[in-house]
Chain A
Amino acid sequence: MSAHYPIFLVVAPLMAALVIAIIARERPGLCPPLAAIALTASLWSAAGMLCRVLAEGPFSYHIGNWPPPMGIAYEVDHLNALVLVAMAAVALINLITTRQAVASDFTGREGYFYALYLLFCAGTFGILVTGDAFNLYVLLEITSISGYALVGLGHRDAALASLNYVFMGTIGASLYLLGVGYLYLITGTLNMADIFSILPRLFGSKVVVAAFVIAMTGLFMKMALFPLHGWLPNAYSEAASPVRSLIAPLTTKTMIYVMVRLGLYVFPPDFTFNHLLFAKVVVWVAAAGIVCASVLALSQTSLRRMLAYVLIAEVGYMVGGFWLGNRMAITGAILHIVNDAAMTLCVFLAVGSFTHQLRDDRFATLKGCFRRMPWTMVVLATAGLSMIGVPPTCGFFSKWYLIGGALTADHWGLVAALIFSSLVNAVLFFRVFEIAYYEPFADPHQEHRPALSYAEAPATMLAPMLFTAAGLVGLGLLTGRIVTHIIDAAIPAAIL
């Protein structure tokens, strides 16, 4: 069994999605447990693969026993084993937490929601594990199309936001496909390891440069790097809350993983970082993006729209860190993929709790929330502190590596952008805390406190949320081990 973990990881949610879609109408009650079982199986496989990678080193799985480069291989190494465990855990925790919100938001359509949810997860896990450039495109589209449908399930202007997401997402994916086409044209193979071994002989080729720039630009669109972020704020704020807390941690982070995979293991790192001016330009774009997204976050009036812009700034952190091209910065970028997935899950679960209990998450609604929903506010506060970067939460450590890497590279622009964004995050989150803690103000003359109803979320939602919040601190405390045992091995030794 354990030899088949890489394929089991993808097949379990895929098959469960099929079964759920069939039984959705007759047995809606069976759908959530089935989805939970499938995602538990995926998490189990991901954890098993991480253990095997740590014990034996990277391994590959040949689908249908066809050896690469002819067949499709699933390659598992330190980099994707780590990200896989994080993503599988995020998907499972979100599934458990949002059980009640799904029941009230999607009454009568629950089964179809879970089928899409599992398809989305299957695609994401496939992207993370595959070692074939074209297979990655297909899985990317499986994820995207189920993502479009999930966003479109929301109310109000969700369909419009989703269609906009379809347009931007399709251009991004098509550019990636075109890049892969150029790579195939010049190397004659689609297997990533094979491309990697052939490319050093072709450094002078314009086709390789075209493939690189086109594929990376496509990925930047999919990951919502400023200024290609247009689809993200509306798509994330119009989506229903269970959808939001699924796609916000998974989509952009998976795309950043793909960028890291292409930059380190498809294109040789020497080509990625030194051969073109591209890397330097991207770092500056990321720095500008961090600043602009942080400023835009200041002007939002609801929690989820504010967080959508914070998320765009976080994409800038990882992109900027990666393209600096030194070991410390890339460590920070990879660590931030995991940490940001956990932080984003945590904040959006808290937002989901507000929208489920109070039906709104505008700042005006949050008045007095420390008294009305104390535990949810604890979760939000932990995640907020982590996004600001307060030790011992995990956000501090990845930012530490990113700033350290930027200092090593003498890139003061990115250092300034990172620090500016941390300060803006402090303002953003403490403004929310202030509204929730101090307002509504007591009447000074009559000494009476306004009546506030206690509206805490049910324990079944709270328990996994508190677990996630504790996980942010736990991840922070484990940073040393994650970096020395996993991330160090995930970065090629040639990068100093």
Chain B
Amino acid sequence: MTTAGYINLIIAKYNYWIYIVLMCIGLWAMIAKRNLIKKIIGMNILQTAIILFYVSIATKKGATLPILGHHDAGHFVDYATVINPLPHVLMLTAIVVSVATLGVALALAMKIYNRYDTLEEDEIHARVRES
């Protein structure tokens, strides 16, 4: 592939690149960071990246919101002029799921902090080994 081809690949499909980069940031934070809250933030970035992926596949160039006015009733609607609403609806559920996961994770982090007086993983493991 030529240089122009590569540039085209990146620019034409930039939404996928953004979601992949975000996902890698999230995964990296979950693996490399030693602070539990940073890990939890990484987890949330990972989930948000996937939400972005879903939402981006719904868009169409030059299309509008999928809301029908009074004058549209009973008429044929050209699918090319409205964006696909289904992925948005799915992602509403996924947002709820990610909020719930975040809530549980933060509650567990609080429980951990109360027990070990720290959120740094190295120090927690040292305490676990002591006891």
Instruction: Give the interface of A toward B (CB within 8 A).
Output: 134, 137-138, 141, 145, 148-149, 152, 157, 159-160, 162-163, 166-167, 170-171, 174, 177-178, 181, 184-185, 190
Known: A138-B97, A181-B54, A181-B57. Contact between A160 and B112, CB under 8 A?
Answer: yes
Flag whether B24 is at the interface (Cβ < 8 A): no
- Which residue of A141, A159, A174 is within 8 Å of B108 (Cβ)? A159
| Chain A residues with CB below 8 A from B39, complex form | 167
- Which residue of B47, B100, B109, B128 is within 8 Å of A163 (Cβ)? B109
| Chain B residues with CB below 8 A from A163, complex form | 36, 105, 108-109, 112
In the assembled complex, the CB of A123 is this many whole angstroms from the nearest CB of chain B, namely: 12
- Which residue of B36, B87, B100 is within 8 Å of A184 (Cβ)? B87
What are 28 A-B interface contacts by the 8 Å CB criterion? A134-B90, A138-B93, A138-B97, A145-B97, A145-B101, A145-B104, A148-B104, A148-B105, A148-B108, A159-B111, A159-B115, A160-B124, A163-B105, A163-B112, A166-B108, A167-B43, A170-B43, A170-B46, A171-B30, A171-B43, A171-B46, A174-B46, A174-B47, A177-B50, A181-B50, A184-B57, A185-B57, A190-B90
| Chain B residues with CB below 8 A from A174, complex form | 46-47, 50
| Chain A residues with CB below 8 A from B47, complex form | 170, 174
Flag whether B82 is at the interface (Cβ < 8 A): no
In the assembled complex, the CB of A135 is this many whole angstroms from the nearest CB of chain B, namely: 9
Cα(A149)–Cα(B108), bound, Å: 8
Q: Is the CB of A152 within 8 A of B111?
A: yes
Cα(A148)–Cα(B50), bound, Å: 22
Q: Is the CB of B97 within 8 A of A152?
A: no
Main SS of chain B's interface residues? helix
| Chain B residues with CB below 8 A from A152, complex form | 104, 107-108, 111
Q: Which residue of B lies closest to A138 (CB)?
A: B93
Instruction: Give the interface of B toward A (CB within 8 A).
Output: 27, 30, 36, 39, 43, 46-47, 50, 53-54, 57, 87, 90, 93-94, 97, 100-101, 104-105, 107-109, 111-112, 115, 124, 128
Q: Is the CB of B97 within 8 A of A160?
A: no
In the assembled complex, the CB of B38 is this many whole angstroms from the nearest CB of chain A, namely: 12
Main SS of chain A's interface residues? helix
Q: Is the CB of B100 within 8 A of A145?
A: yes
| Chain B residues with CB below 8 A from A171, complex form | 27, 30, 43, 46
| Chain B residues with CB below 8 A from A184, complex form | 57, 87
Q: Is the CB of A141 within 8 A of B101?
A: yes
Q: Which residue of A lies closest to B124 (CB)?
A: A160
Known: A149-B104, A163-B112. 7 other contacts (CB 8 A): A141-B97, A141-B101, A145-B100, A145-B101, A160-B128, A163-B109, A185-B57
| Chain B residues with CB below 8 A from A159, complex form | 108, 111-112, 115
| Chain A residues with CB below 8 A from B53, complex form | 178, 181
In the assembled complex, the CB of A231 is this many whole angstroms from the nearest CB of chain B, namely: 13
Q: Is the CB of A166 within 8 A of B43?
A: yes
Cα(A449)–Cα(B109), bound, Å: 49
Cα(A249)–Cα(B43), bound, Å: 27
Q: Is the CB of B50 within 8 A of A178?
A: yes
Cα(A171)–Cα(B39), bound, Å: 12
| Chain A residues with CB below 8 A from B115, complex form | 159
In the assembled complex, the CB of A375 is this many whole angstroms from the nearest CB of chain B, namely: 34
Known: A171-B27, A184-B87. Contact between A166 and B104, CB under 8 A?
Answer: yes
**8 tightest CB-CB pairs across the interface, nearest first?**
A159-B111, A163-B108, A141-B97, A159-B112, A159-B108, A166-B105, A148-B104, A152-B108
Cα(A178)–Cα(B27), bound, Å: 14
Cα(A152)–Cα(B46), bound, Å: 23
Cα(A393)–Cα(B100), bound, Å: 42
| Chain A residues with CB below 8 A from B36, complex form | 163
| Chain A residues with CB below 8 A from B111, complex form | 152, 159
Cα(A181)–Cα(B20), bound, Å: 14
Q: Is the CB of B101 within 8 A of A166?
A: yes
In the assembled complex, the CB of A17 is this many whole angstroms from the nearest CB of chain B, namely: 15
